[in-house]
Structure 1
């Protein structure tokens, strides 16, 4: 079939039929358009509904958020207020506890201080009754036990050791007399130990830690150091030239006046106890080592003798009288040596006629030094100090600041005086 035939066929189609089809098409289009409008309306309505729903939901969400936010803020505020109240309550409670603890401690401290004061007042009366106490006697051989040491572990409030020389020529033992005075509720006792060449005397208290590490508790105990002790040590006349060593700790040491010279060398050590001499006759060496105790008194040298004193800040006030011994053909020469850091020195030396002037050596750092020979010295002197120096020699006065002064006399009975002080003033009279 050809193309023309198709055209011809369409041309022969009935026009009425075509109109029917066109009308149907228009009707269909109208229906579609109406449906579209309806759909649009529906869509518009639905969109509006959707919009309303969205706005409502958004409003609901915003209101819920505001409600939740307000609730959270309220919760946070309430929690913060609760924490603040708890913190405030804790601070108040802590402050109340601290106040009560402080009050209780102050009350206990006040009671403790009152008890300590009462005990100390009662302790002060003990020394008045010390002589009425029956002593305990201990004898020992000073040739075997040359070192006598006192240990009180801070138990003794006041202690004194009195040293004397025996008048009995054939007694070779040393005698120690012990008296302890305590309060009625303070039980103190002593214990003696012999170790090697040392005789140790311990003064103890019952129900108290008697040890060197806990010795400081003696100041805090009740009653505090409420023991008064007096020891009397009598040395024999003759020993095997062994040095008698006395360690008196904090006890005062008093050498009583003796008619018979101390024949054995004596070495005395103390920490803070004062040392005093009462016109004591020395026939041998005397050495003293102390920290803070003062040293004072009168000493008499009967023949060749050495005196050596070392102290840190104790004050030294000694009068030394050097006498001859008619039984000696060749008189010896005495030596006096004083070494200190801060303690002032006041030394007076009198030399008997025809006795060699002693060799005197004094060394100090901050001490003021005063030495007088009562116009009896014959010899050479050298004085050096950064402080003021004043020398009076046969009415001739020499003064100098921060320097050195010296003089020399070449006579037979000459001695040497050497004084060195770093910062102290020196006053010497020959």
Structure 2
């Protein structure tokens, strides 16, 4: 090989080697770039997946079926502006309600004050032949039904034998109230109907009806059969004739519902007074034979005086029986028994109520029979050093506190007073405490 060819061959070899190195370097660079790009793509994919996971996980938790979430409707109704509008509406309604109630209340109060000036409708019947009087209201009666009154009193005329009924009515419109009477062989019936409806006293314009029924009983009857009076709705006042001061010579049985009974200084022979969903309060100045007072879902607060000075001229004994009974209500009794009373019987019973009794027996009364019984209530009895006889005090699920003179730890059985005394006292309570002061 000539030198020229050797040079060309060497040159070519050098070129090949050089190109080979160049190509190898370029390939290496390309591979490096490819790997970098791949790593960058992988990183981007990971970041993208992480973002997707953060967005998709709550959705998957909240909605496993991948149902698009609906807009929360509360965002509309509970917005501050809507709440302010609703509050304003309620406030306006409240003011209107208060204004209308006050207007109706004032109207009824004004009508009530004018009752005495109205001309009454007068009715009468003979209680010797018709023993029962029913005075009732069919209630469209509204909140102010407590303004309707039933008064029971006694005639001034000693010769009168009929019972007189006087009806006073004031109403916004004459058609607002109607009444009718009917007679059966044993009962005289008066039924009132209110012809408009008032929801919670919301009458616009204001409307009102006020009724007063006054029953004037005679001082005597041709026979001494009981007089029965039944009522509902009306508040009752049982009054004594202060002019004649003559005791009612016949038994009176009175029963009412949804109303209170107020007794004012009665002089009675015998009486039974009962109410449901109402209170009984007042005073009985004298009782000859028996008085029974009973309330359901109401309290009893009465004073009773057994006074022989008032009933001395009446035929019969002087051994009165006083009975009080309450269910779902408390009893507060003040009882005075005067000289000349023989063997008074006192029975006080309360269920789901407390009893507070103060009993004063006149000196020399040593045969009284007293029973105090309470279920689910406490008993407090004060005998004011006037009781003589045996006593028995007991309670279930409660404490007993006896005060006999200076002895405050006496047991529940014993005798107080003279050995020949015939009085007997029993006090018992279930689920309540008992305190007796002799």
> Normalising by structure 1, what TM-score?
0.64
Q: Could you say which residue in structure 1 is the equivalent of 2:157?
A: 168
| Residues 78-103 of structure 1: CA deviation (Å, up to 9, x unaligned) | xxxxx989978999699999998997
Query: Given the alignment, which residue of 90, 93, 105 partners 1:120?
Result: 105
Q: 1:371, CA displacement in angstroms?
A: 2.4
Q: Tell me: CA distance 1:244–1:290, structure 2 relative to 1, closer, same or farther (3 Å).
A: farther
- SS of 1:273's equivalent in the other structure is coil
- SS of 1:373's equivalent in the other structure is strand
Q: Tell me: CA distance 1:297–1:87, structure 2 relative to 1, closer, same or farther (3 Å).
A: same
Q: Could you say which residue in structure 2 is the equivalent of 1:308?
A: 292
Q: Does the 8 Å contact 1:160/1:254 carry over to 2? A: yes
Query: Given the alignment, which residue of 280, 286, 306 partners 2:272?
Result: 286
Query: Given the alignment, which residue of 405, 415, 422 partners 2:430?
Result: 422
Q: Tell me: CA distance 1:190–1:397, structure 2 relative to 1, closer, same or farther (3 Å).
A: farther
Q: Quick one: distance in 2 between partners of 1:168 and 1:200?
A: 24
- SS of 2:250's equivalent in the other structure is coil
Query: Given the alignment, which residue of 340, 344, 355 partners 2:326?
Result: 340
Q: 1:240, CA displacement in angstroms?
A: 3.1
**Superposition RMSD on alpha carbons, in Å?**
4.1
Q: Does the 8 Å contact 1:146/1:242 carry over to 2? A: no
Q: Quick one: distance in 2 between partners of 1:222 and 1:141?
A: 43
Q: 1:135, CA displacement in angstroms?
A: 0.8
State which drifts further: 312-321 or 324-333. 324-333
Query: Given the alignment, which residue of 202, 211, 215 partners 1:229?
Result: 211
Query: Given the alignment, which residue of 317, 320, 330 partners 1:331?
Result: 317
Q: Tell me: CA distance 1:427–1:288, structure 2 relative to 1, closer, same or farther (3 Å).
A: farther
- SS of 1:254's equivalent in the other structure is strand
Q: Quick one: distance in 1 between partners of 2:106 and 2:85?
A: 32
Q: 1:295, CA displacement in angstroms?
A: 1.8
Q: Quick one: distance in 1 between partners of 2:257 and 2:407?
A: 38
Q: Could you say which residue in structure 1 is the equivalent of 2:115?
A: 130
Q: How many residues align?
A: 338
- SS of 1:348's equivalent in the other structure is strand
Q: Quick one: distance in 1 between partners of 2:433 and 2:356?
A: 6
Q: Does the 8 Å contact 2:306/2:341 carry over to 1? A: no
Q: Tell me: CA distance 1:428–1:375, structure 2 relative to 1, closer, same or farther (3 Å).
A: farther
Q: Could you say which residue in structure 1 is the equivalent of 2:340?
A: 354
Q: Tell me: CA distance 1:89–1:239, structure 2 relative to 1, closer, same or farther (3 Å).
A: same
1:372 paired to 2:380: no
Q: Could you say which residue in structure 1 is the equivalent of 2:193?
A: 204
- SS of 2:105's equivalent in the other structure is helix
Q: Does the 8 Å contact 2:379/2:429 carry over to 1? A: no
Q: Could you say which residue in structure 1 is the equivalent of 2:405?
A: 396
Q: Quick one: distance in 1 between partners of 2:108 and 2:332?
A: 35
Q: 1:272, CA displacement in angstroms?
A: 4.0
Q: Quick one: distance in 1 between partners of 2:158 and 2:100?
A: 51
Give unmatched runs, 5+ long, in structure 1.
1-82, 210-215
Q: Quick one: distance in 1 between partners of 2:131 and 2:210?
A: 26
Q: Does the 8 Å contact 2:178/2:192 carry over to 1? A: yes
State which drifts further: 348-357 or 221-230. 221-230
Q: Does the 8 Å contact 1:383/1:406 carry over to 2? A: no
Give unmatched runs, 5+ long, in structure 2.
1-66, 387-403
Q: 1:350, CA displacement in angstroms?
A: 2.6
> Normalising by structure 2, what TM-score?
0.63
